[in-house]
Amino acid sequence: MSKQLLTGNESIALGAHLASVGVVAGYPGTPSTEIIESMVQADYPNLYAEWAPNEKVALEVAIGASLSGVRSMACMKHVGVNVAADPLMTVTYMGVKGGLVIITADDPGMHSSQNEQDNRNYARFAKVPMLEPSDSQEACDMVAKAFNISEEYDTPVFLRSTTRISHSKGVVKAGDRSATKVEPGFSPDPQKLVMIPAHARKRHPEVLKRLEKLQKLAEIAHNNPPKLNRVEWRDRSIGVVTGGIAYQYVREALPDASVFKLGLSYPLPIGQIKSFAGQVEQLYVVEELDPFWETEIRAAGLSVIGKDRLPSAGELTPDIVRSAILDGQESSSGQQKAQKGAVQDIPARPPMLCPGCPHRGVFWALSRAGVNVTGDIGCYTLGVMPPLSAIDTTTCMGASIGHALGIKKALGDDAPDTVAVIGDSTFMHSGMTGLADVVYNQGDVTTIILDNRTTAMTGHQGNPSSGYNARLKKAPRTDFVKLARGMGVEDVHRVDPYDLQETARVIKEAEEFPGPSVVIADRPCILLDRDSQRAPFEVTEECTGCGFCLNLGCPALYRTGEEKNAPVAINPVTCTGCGMCAEVCGFSAIGEGDDSQ
């Protein structure tokens, strides 16, 4: 097959197809999203692919498929594994039938995440082997290896990617397609599959035995199939244990160093690493985030340089690796090193809500209402950015509603007016249980569901409330009004967030209602709903340059000059004609553009 230029995610998708995966489930999350997306786009045969409401369900679906003898895969970002950790920690006792691979796509540097947890720790925690590719070709090839290990050792297998693997493109040559030897079919086996205490007690020792076998596999994995690890002998004054993207940085920064490249991140081939250490003058460990390998290598009694020179926070870069090892510099912050020599005194350009984003209407109202706002995870988290500055907390998926209830219960009658803001996809993911708590324990909390009918931040994937599925086919749509009423919320409103006055009025009304309220801010994402875009608005000569409209934080609005009252103009390429700026202008100086053009 010819070579292709593929991202790590596209390579994992291709590798899964080549390994004859039958069921794939996931929840969108950067940097993992394009794995399922590209499998659907490629329209691989004999594949069921779905977006699940959350990662826990996704893994549960994949486990069900695996127990039916079908190769299955669950895809998620690093924090998604936290959500899926409950089934994970027990399926490790149960084992698999068809191969079961869990993709964890970590985000060192937090390009699009709330933390940068190192999910290699989950491999040790769950006693599950973890494979880690260093480029697109390996990402493709390792999927079949992961499925084979899963079936041979009766274990789920992690494949860990990071942003720089998932979102880097590299040249890939696809290998041959392989199939599982497992016969499809579900056969009851309660001793293995029903984890009541009596059964689980017998399974735990099996997990420990399996880990011993995997440790033996690790010891031979550098020169026997599946050839996951690799020793590269060059100059022996420096020997580096590394893996994942850090391997590429080591090769770039230290082209002459000898390298023990780990493709099997866990368990470690400690015997082989000892032998490698004995043949180099100085042993280094170069790994992103936690001292995961370093801790094990030190525990084995080896002397090694690692996190005493390299940062545990932030991404590594070739620059950081080079200065840490060659110059012996201690580096406290990856970010600092990466920015060495960079201009520091120019204005930052943080991400913003898009022109025409319907969330802007809600945050405009909230920023003027003087209430506390507990926020959630999605595009709308950008409501925290100035000038709207309308979010006070963001923790994890679904947390907004529980946080609002906690504030209300903690402070009682003294509690500030508090509103929870959550997107439609996030509400389906893990917001419903928070709302159930508000109703059940009678919290005076207003929940605003920002219903833009899609999972926008990750690139417009469907969810149970959006009306289309992973294959973009029509799907049933959860009705938020009926859902809220069914859960016991009496005060339920629906409003168009483009109508700023009405939005402010409805939020106030809901907020004043004593008891649980729900407001559904109902308008599709402007990027999804191109048909609703109108001709760009125009600023007339009436503009006094007061700049009030700029408080909307719309990137399409800008001042035409540096002087204090320079008139505002609208970028005709990016303006979508939402009209919010015209609504807030006190001088009627912004008008609709000519639609006929």
Partner 1 sequence: MKQSNAVACRDIVVAGVGGQGVLVATDVMANAFMSSDLDVKKSEVHGMAQRGGSVISHVRAGPEVFSPLILAGSADAVMALEKMEALRYAHMVRRDGLIVYNTQKIPPVSVSLQQDSYPADIRDRLQQYSSRLVPIDALDVAQELGNPRVANTVLLGAISLYTEIDDLLWMDSLLERVPKSTHKVNQQAFERGRQLAADTAGLD
Footprint on this chain of partner 1 (rule: CB under 8 A): 3, 5, 7, 30-31, 33-34, 111-112, 135, 163-164, 167-171, 245, 248-249, 251-253, 317-319, 322, 338-343, 345-354, 379, 381-382, 386-387, 457-459, 547, 550-551, 553-555, 557-559, 562, 564, 568, 573-574
> Least distance in Å: CB of 403 to partner 1?
21
**Phi-psi region at 450: left, alpha or beta (left = phi > 0; alpha = psi -120 to 50):** beta
Min separation Cβ 454 and partner 1, Å: 14
Residue number with CB closer to partner 1 (338 or 481):
338
CA atoms of 157 and 150, how far apart (whole Å): 6
81 burial level (CB within 10 Å; 0-12, 13-18, 19+): buried
Which residue number, 433 or 571, has a Cβ lying nearer to partner 1? Answer: 571
Q: How far is the CB of 520 from partner 1 (least distance, A)?
A: 23
Report in angstroms how near the CB of residue 269 gets to partner 1 at its nearest: 23
C-alpha–C-alpha distance, residues 485 and 187, integer Å: 41
Whole-number Å distance between alpha carbons of 293 and 296: 5
**Distance in angstroms (rounded) separating the CA atoms of residues 557 and 582:** 11
Identify the bridge partners of residue 458 per DSSP, sorted by sequence position.
Answer: none
- Kind plus residue range of the DSSP H or E element containing 239: strand 235-243
The distance of closest approach from Cβ of residue 316 to partner 1 in the complex, given in angstroms and rounded to an integer, is 9
Output the CA–CA distances (angstroms, integers) from residue 38 to 33, 34, 464, 527, in the order listed.
Answer: 9, 6, 20, 20
Q: Closer to partner 1 at the Cβ: 15 or 28? A: 28
CA distance 387 to 254: 45
- Please, which residue, 249 or 276, has the CB nearer to partner 1? 249
Nearer to partner 1, 137 or 180 (CB): 137
Closest CA to 354 of 568, 570, 575: 575
Give residue 19's Cα distance to chain centre: 24
The distance of closest approach from Cβ of residue 580 to partner 1 in the complex, given in angstroms and rounded to an integer, is 14
Residue 245 · residue 162 · CB < 8 Å: yes
d(CA 143, CA 145): 5
Whichever of 187 and 339 has its CB closer to partner 1, that residue is 339
Q: Using the minimum distance from each CB to partner 1, give the nearer residue, 402 or 567.
A: 567
CB of 76 to partner 1, least distance (A): 14
Nearest distance, CB of residue 34 and partner 1, angstroms? 8
Q: How far is the CB of 394 from partner 1 (least distance, A)?
A: 12
- Phi then psi dihedrals of residue 25, to 5 deg: -135, 150
Q: How far is the CB of 31 from partner 1 (least distance, A)?
A: 6
Comparison of 3 and 204: residue with beta carbon closer to partner 1: 3
Expressed in angstroms, the distance from the first to the final Cα of the chain is: 48
| Least distance to partner 1, CB of residue 357, Å | 9
Where would I find the H helices in 371-479?
399-411, 424-426, 432-440
Spell 326-358 as b/e; 16+ CB within 10 A means b: eeeeebeebeebbeeeeeeeeeeeeeebbbbbb
Phi, psi of 245 (to 5 degrees): -65, -25
**Closer residue to partner 1 (CB): 252 or 327:** 252
CA 508/CA 335 separation, integer angstroms: 43
Residue for token digits 């409330």?
465
Q: Distance between CA 122 and CA 103 in Å, rounded?
A: 12
Residue 113 C-beta: closest distance to partner 1, Å: 8
107 vs 151 by CB, closer to partner 1: 107
Do the Cβ atoms of 361 and 495 come closer than 8 Å?
A: no
HSE-up (13 A, CA, CB side) for residue 275: 9
Output the smallest distance, CB 503 to partner 1, in A. Answer: 21
Minimum CB separation from partner 1 for residue 457, in Å? 6
Name, in order, each residue with C-beta under 8 angstroms of 593's C-beta and a sequence gap of 6 or more. 534, 535, 536, 537, 538, 572, 575, 577
**Closer to partner 1 at the Cβ: 77 or 493?**
77
Nearer to partner 1, 113 or 148 (CB): 113
Q: Under a CB-based contact definition with an 8 Å cutoff, are residues 42 and 15 in contact?
A: no
Nearer to partner 1 by C-beta: 112 or 295? 112
Q: Are 389 and 396 in contact (CB under 8 A)?
A: no
Asked if 481 and 345 touch (Cβ cutoff 8 Å), the reply is: no
Residue among 49 and 382 whose Cβ is closer to partner 1: 382
